Amino acid sequence: MCQVITQTNHSCGHQVRRYMRKSKYCLFFKHKDEDFHMVSFVYKGDSKFICEHCEIKAEAYEKGLRGAKRHEYIRIEFEKSNENSKAEKARNAIAAAEKSQKNVDPAKIAELNKHARRQVKWYLMNRCANLNEKALLLKTIMQAPAAIDRKALVECFGSNAVYNHKAKVWKGLSSGDRNVLTSIARRAGMTRALENGFKMENPVDMQ
């Protein structure tokens, strides 16, 4: 499964990435660790708290530690910290995803694009019962690797989001849902692709 990483800007000025969980929407499911995959980021924004590393440095200062003892205390305590564990797991996940995306031949990329579109359709049919889930899937699509045709994925998303697969008819979306999804697409410069998908009478892979 692809992985989700959080990114937080702490009041101390440090930006920390932490491992969060496996992705709810893996565009390349079911893949092995070495197979082409991605990580997606959830931006937590600004925190009023300092990071754990700075907390530990502050503790060392309060304890009156200096020189080598101070550095050793910070090293040992940070190694035991939750931040260190999740940050290391995030770094490993990012490195593995980046490695998996290197030297992939064009035929494999074409296959991955088709697979990703099939996954988008399946998720919309089976795991996107509400707006929040649709929005999360669309945000995941927006972070697909450069080798993947994001425009085609967004059109696929749009065309399936407005289609009732059980009744096999175009059903559209409420204006509220449509506005939320369009806002997400706009931030990624994908408004036209999403609107094109919304206008299709049939899902992309059914044409």
Give the burial string for 94-114 (b: 16+ CB within 10 Å, else e): beebeebbeeeeeeebeebbe
Among 33, 141, 28, which Cα is nearest to 97's? Answer: 33
Q: What is the pLDDT of residues 42-85, one digit of tens each?
A: 999 899 999 999 999 999 999 999 999 999 999 999 999 999 99
Q: What is the pLDDT of residues 153-198, one digit of tens each?
A: 999 999 999 999 888 899 999 999 999 999 999 999 999 999 999 9
**How far is the C-alpha of 85 from the C-alpha of 75, rounded, in Å?**
13
Phi-psi region of 150 (alpha: psi -120 to 50; beta: other; left: phi over 0): alpha
CB 5 within 8 A of CB 94: yes
Rg of the chain in Å (alpha carbons): 21
Q: Whole-structure pTM over 0.85, yes or no?
A: yes
**How far is the C-alpha of 93 from the C-alpha of 33, rounded, in Å?**
10
CB 139 within 8 A of CB 40: yes
